[in-house]
Structure 1
Amino acid sequence: MLTTEHRDDVAVLRIEHGRVGALDVELLTALAEAVSASDRALVITGSGSAFSAGVDLRQVLDGGRPYTEQLLAALSRLFRVVFDHPRPTVAAVNGHAIAGGCVLALACDLRLMSGGRMGLAELTVGVPFPTAALEVVRHALGPRAGQVLLGAQSVDRERALALGMVDELTEPGELLPRAVALAGQLAAWSPESYRMAKVQLHRPANAAIEATQEGDAAVLAGWTSDDTRGRIETALAALKRR
């Protein structure tokens, strides 16, 4: 599900969960715990053709409201744990990073991409954004956030670079070495100064998250509505036909 490899002062967390690294409660919890427990610079990457294709929508349908409530809490926890990790974080986007997978990458300090497509596809299946996810997106993309979020499209790596979704493109064989090298460079700065800089940079996003946490009750209602369930069923049926 999740492997950890230490390369000098950098820990590489690799998602190995099914064919596309789908995010479920088990994987989200494992990732959050691994990030929280680490005092190293981190590189987060995927396996095969995907970084992470987002939430496991079949489990959302099968688990109903109780599972979805756990899922949203686990999503928000992971995004915040990665976003506020005191050490450098680099996303090595090896393949498709869609919806929650895209937010996970955007929560990192830097993002490198070698292939696949990237985008925030939540609106295509009718699911609203948890506050933590939205504020991470707003912080990472600035004035482009509305275009990317409301457009709900997945884009190739060149367009992802143009939109500011990633900071650098690499070839597949160069992706992980380059990501580890960048994480190591950032880790050479004073750890306390780096931590404080992130706290200062993230203060507006975290203040917005703290101020609107109660609003996520509406997010849960949106995820579990009949309309959303119908849209998810339609999306899953379309994927099955491919």
Structure 2
Amino acid sequence: MKSYTQHFPSESAPLVRLDFNGDTRIWVLTFLGKETPDNRLTHKFIAEGLLLALSHVEQRWAEMLNSGESDQGAALISTGGTDASAKIYSNGLDFEKAIEDPSFFDTHLNNLYEKLLTFPIPTIAALNGHAFAAGFGLACAHDYRVMNGKRGYLCMNEIDFGAPLPHGLQQALASKIADQRTMRKIVLEGHRFSAKEAFDEGFVDVLSDSPQDTLDKATELAGKLKIKAKMNAWGANKEVVYAQAIKVCRTKHDVATEALYAPRAKY
């Protein structure tokens, strides 16, 4: 298959770059920091960058299946960049603009998390640097995480500025973090996890030494995992493994929130 590079939403005004290696069958989705330098998950970045690129990969994978070219499998890696100056994977939401839009969680953030939680090929977040708040959730919505051990933290800092944690975001975390003591430390204490701490807690899978090494190790891991997608059961099995998180992401945000905060029934 031919290698190619494509930009979304367009080459003239790119938010993300998608590189496909036809030999390895691995896509690399690079966040370009064009709208915000810290790759915040804005309306535009999600809808016109990430979701468009992910839908493109899904379509190309479907074409591989239909043409009988899925024998090697395939995988997707996302990264905030490989330059030495690439300090941030994603710094979360533009919070004020997000909460101004009552449909944002339904049409954008939860839609993005659901897309990754059900993605039909292995996904790996190559964490070149910090992933905060919804950016931490984005990393956890991937199947695996490789993190730069020399720079960056994973953190949910909502507790420090008085923001309630969106249910879909919590479930993106919970899809990979089962230990409630760890979740308490993340959500209620706002602890900043170094790469080593996150690796020891089990929600980072591989440690690396630099942004480039992060992508290299993610590519190595993708090369090992991609064959597991060749029979097209990867996405279906994820729907079983991540069932609760997917259910919440598919539930209207207001409905999920109301259910969480409903008063106890009186008897």
Secondary structure of the structure 1 residue equivalent to 2:163:
coil
- Superposed, 1:220-235 pairs within 5 Å as none
TM-aligned CA deviation for residue 132 of structure 1: 2.0
Asked if 1:51 is matched to 2:89, the reply is yes
**CA deviation map 1:162-204 (0-9, x unaligned):** 2223111111132112112211221112342322321221123
Q: For the residues of structure 2 that align with 1:37 and 1:205, how far apart are their CA atoms? A: 23
Matches within 5 A, 1:197-212: 197-210=237-250
Give the drift of 1:56: 2.0
Tell me which residue corresponds to 1:11. 27
Which position in structure 2 is the counterpart of 1:148?
186
C-alpha offsets along residues 8-61 of structure 1, whole Å, 9 cap, x if unaligned? 31111111123211121000112022112212521011031100111123645x
Contact 1:131 1:212 in 2 (8 A): no
CA drift of 1:104 comes to 0.3
How many residue pairs get matched? Answer: 215
| 1:131 matched residue in structure 2 | 167
Unaligned runs of at least 5 residues, structure 1: 220-242
- Report percent identity of matched pairs: 24
Matched, 1:177 2:206: no
| CA distance, structure 2, for counterparts of residue 5 and residue 98 of structure 1 | 25
Deviation of residue 215 (structure 1)?
A: 2.9
Q: Distance in 2 between matches of 1:217 and 1:132?
A: 9
Whole-angstrom distance in 2 between the partners of 1:192 and 1:85: 11
1:33 & 1:129 partners in 2: Cα distance? 26
Task: Give yes or no for contact 2:137–2:169 (8 Å, CA) kept in 1.
Answer: yes
State the 1:112 CA deviation.
0.5
Deviates more, 1:10-19 or 1:188-197: 188-197
Q: Does 1:192 align with 2:232?
A: yes
State which structure, 1 or 2, has the greater radius of gyration over its C-alpha atoms.
2
Q: CA RMSD in A?
A: 2.3
TM-score, length-scaled by structure 1: 0.80
- Aligned residue in 2 for 1:223: none
Give the gaps of 5 or more residues in structure 2: 1-14, 62-73, 260-267
Tell me the TM-score normalized by structure 2. Answer: 0.73
Q: Which runs of 4+ in 1 moved over 3 A?
A: 57-60, 207-214, 216-219
In 2: Cα distance, 1:209 partner to 1:26 partner: 19
Matches within 5 A, 1:27-42: 27-29=45-47, 30-38=49-57, 39=61, 40-42=74-76
CA–CA separation in structure 2 for the residues paired with 1:191 and 1:91:
23
Change in Cα spacing, 1:92 to 1:217, as seen in structure 2 (3 Å) is same
Are the counterparts in 2 of residues 25 and 70 from structure 1 also a CA contact under 8 Å? no
2-structure distance, mates of 1:127, 1:2: 29
Aligned to 1:239: none
Partner of residue 42, structure 2:
24
CA contact (8 A) 1:86 1:194 kept: yes
1:72 aligns with 2:105: yes
TM-aligned CA distance change 1:206 to 1:156, over 3 Å: same
Structure 1 191/108 Cα, relative in aligned 2: closer, same or farther at 3 Å?
farther
Task: Look up the match of 2:117.
Answer: 83
